[in-house]
Structure formats: C-alpha cells, structure tokens
C-alpha cells in the first residue's frame, strides 16, 4: 500500500525579515561584549522586545555580534541577565547594527511597513 500524499509544510518565517548580507555585516565585527576578542563571531538574535514569537527567531535586524562563548552565555543566563552582567543595551546595539548595515534602507522600509500595516 502506498503512503498518502504529504501535507506541504507551512512556512512560518514569511513574516520575518531575513538577510544574509546583514548577517554577514554583523558577523564582520568583534564580539559586542566590551574587551572581548574571542573568535569565532556569531550572529546573535535579540529576542525580548522583538517580533519573535514562541519558538520563532526574530527578524535579522534584531541581531548583534557575539563570540561563540558569549552567544552561548546569552542563551544560558537569559538576555536580561546577560545584558546587565556585561553592561550592554542589546536593543540599542541591534538598532546601531541595523542603522549601519548595507541593508539599512531595506530595514527601515520593512520596519515602517510593519508599523503601518
């Protein structure tokens, strides 16, 4: 007996902004933790106060550069504790990355469209 047709997987990411170019830009910076020169650098999403939902990554403009160790720490201790521990305003930093990104104009347009429907 043959299996029935597969149900196409619904993509929930369609409402999230993704950009490899922006992530490459973020990754091209040192770790955002002051005084850290560790490598490799990873793109870390800032989830609290973002457009993320339960179990869903936020849009790529909510990203900062962290070394692998600090990215792991961010997930292990939680964003609020991580930010307080290292004296980093995660949202302000993600906004700075977005403003300086080669995709800044696209990010601003996407954010404006989301605010105004």
| % of the chain with per-residue pLDDT over 90 | 64
DSSP state of 55: T
Residues 72-81: what's their mean pLDDT?
A: 96
Per the structure, how many domains does the chain have?
Answer: 1
For residues 76 and 108, the answer to whether their CB atoms sit within 8 Å is: no
Rounded CA-CA distance 78/114 in Å is 27
Comparing 45-54, 63-72, 93-102, the range with the smallest average pLDDT is 45-54
Whole-number pLDDT of residue 117: 62
Mean pLDDT score of the chain = 88
Whole-model pTM? 0.81
Range of the domain at 76: 19-116
DSSP state of 114: H
């Amino acid at each position: 007996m043959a299996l029935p047709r597969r149900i196409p997987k619904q993509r929930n990411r369609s409402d999230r902004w993704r950009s490899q170019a922006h992530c490459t830009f973020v990754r091209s910076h040192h770790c955002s933790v002051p005084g850290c020169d560790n490598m490799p650098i990873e793109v870390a999403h800032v989830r609290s106060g973002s457009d993320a939902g339960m179990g869903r990554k936020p849009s790529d403009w909510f990203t900062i550069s962290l070394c692998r160790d600090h990215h792991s720490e961010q997930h292990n201790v939680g964003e609020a504790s991580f930010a307080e521990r290292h004296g980093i305003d995660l949202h302000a930093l993600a906004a700075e990355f977005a403003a300086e990104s080669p995709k800044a104009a696209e990010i601003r347009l996407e954010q404006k469209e989301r605010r105004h429907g």
